[in-house]
Amino acid sequence: MGYKERMSGNEAVAFAMKQINPDVMPAFPITPSTELPQFVSTYIANGQMDTEFIPVESEHSSMSAAIGAEAAGARTMTATSSCGLAFMWEVLYVAASNRLPIAMAVVNRALSGPININAEHSDSMGARDSGWLQIYAETNQEAYDNFVQAYRIAEHPDVMLPIMICQDGFITSHAVENIELMEDEKVKSFVGEYTPEHYLLNPKESMSVGPYANSPYCMEAKRAQAQAMMNAKQVILDVAKEFEEISGRSYGLFEEYQLEDADIAIVAIGSACGTIKDSVDELRKKGVRAGLLKVRVFRPFPGEEMAEALRGCKAVAIMDRCESYSSQGGPLGAELMAAMYRAGVTAPAINMIYGLSGRDVTTDMIDGVYERLARIAEEGAKPEDHYTYLGLRE
C-alpha cells in the first residue's frame, strides 16, 4: 500500500523523478517549473539520487543536452515552462523525429506577451504538432501518477517518442494537496531499467543520429513517426491498467464524469475540471443532466473515442485555456469538432476560451456555461455562441 503525504504538484513530480532516478537531467530554471530542478539537485546533493545533473545556459541547451544524453543511451528527463518551452522549439522536433523517449515535466504558463507568469496552456499547445506525447493533470496526484507512467509509455518499442507531462502553473504546481505516494521499490519495479535497442555508445553498432534525409527517405520517416503516435493510444491504456494494479488508481485517455446520461456537457483540460465537477454535482442535485469530459491525453488525440463519448449529448461546450488566433477558437475546440463531424455526432458544439493568464474560473461561471448549453439544446446555437470568451471584462 502507498502512504499519505501533503505535497505541491512540483514536489510530487520531483518525488516521482527521485523514485525513477534517471541517468541524466539537464535543466534551466523558469517560473513556475524552477522548483523541479531545484528539488532534484537537492536530492542529488543529499545522495538520494545518482542522476547526472547538467546546469545549462538556456532551455535550448537543456533540450539539446537531453537529446545528446538520450541518443547516447541514457534515460533522460528535464523540466520547463512557457518561454522556456518556446526557446526549445527547434530541438523539440529533433527529439521527436529522432525517436528519443525523453520525459519532460511542463508546468503550464502563459507565453509572452503581455508578460505573464500564470496558468495557461499556450506553451504546450503551441508545441502540440512537434511530435511529443502530451498528458495533462487535473490534480497533484495525477501529476505524480502521470510522471510515474511516463517512461513506460515513451520507451515502449511500439512508441519511442518523447513525452510531456503537463500540469497547471501555480494552481497545482505550488498549491499543496493530500496525495498518496507509492513505495520507492514499487515505482522502480514498475518503471524498470532503460535498455534501448540502438544508441550511440553501443560498441557493437555504428549509427548516426539526426542525419540529413532527402526527399526519397524523409517522408517515410515522418509516416513511421506518425504510426508511433497512433500506437501510443493502446500503450497508454495498457500502462494505465498495469498502474492501476499497483496503485488502485484508474486512468484512461480521458475521464467521463457524470457523462453517461448527460444532456449537456463540457470538455476541458487540467485543473479547471475540479471546478466543473463541483458545478456538475450541484446541477445534478437540481435534476439537470450535466456532465464533463476531462481530457487527459491530448497527443495522441483520442478524437474518435471522445466523439463517441459525447454522442448522446444535446449540446457541448469545448473549453480552451489558450487562444490559437484562428478566429475560430482554440486547438481543443478545433480538433474535437472535426472529430465529432467525422464521427457523425450532430450535437451543437461551441468553443469557449477561458482562464487565460491565470484568470479565475468559478462555479458561477461554469453554471452560466451549462445554462447556455441548456438553451442551445432547446433552441440551437446562435452565431454568437460558437466562439466566445468566458469571464471576460466587457
Low-confidence ranges of the chain (pLDDT < 50): none
Which three cell numbers, joined as nine digits, stand for 125?
Answer: 499547445
Radius of gyration of the chain (CA): 21
Of all helices (H) and strands (E), which one includes residue 318? strand 315-320
Confidence (pLDDT) at 394: 77
Residue with cell 494505465: 240
Alpha carbon of residue 49 to chain centroid = 26
List domains and CATH numbers for the chain. Answer: 3-247 (3.40.50.970), 254-389 (3.40.50.920)
Q: 21-60 burial string, b = 16+ CB within 10 Å, else e?
A: bbbbbbbbbbbbbbbbbebbbebbeeeebebeebebeebb
Provide the residue type at 24 as one letter. V
The residue count for the chain: 394
Confidence (pLDDT) at 216: 87
Ranges of H-type helices in the chain: 9-20, 35-45, 59-72, 82-87, 89-97, 122-126, 140-154, 184-191, 215-247, 272-285, 303-309, 331-343, 363-379
What phi, psi does 100 have (nearest 5°)? -105, 115
The rounded distance, in Å, linking the Cα atoms of 74 and 200 is 10
Confidence (pLDDT) at 384: 93
DSSP label at 360? -
The rounded distance, in Å, linking the Cα atoms of 123 and 121 is 6
Confidence (pLDDT) at 1: 65
The rounded distance, in Å, linking the Cα atoms of 137 and 110 is 17
What pTM does this model have? Answer: 0.97
Confidence (pLDDT) at 57: 96
> For the chain, what percentages of helix, strand and coil (3-state, to nearest 5) are there?
45, 20, 40
Q: What is the number of H-type helices and E-type strands within the chain?
A: 13, 15
Angle at 136 between CA 190 and CA 89, to 5 degrees: 105
Confidence (pLDDT) at 113: 83
Residue with cell 466543473: 276
Nearest partner of 169 among 137, 131, 129, judged by Cα: 137
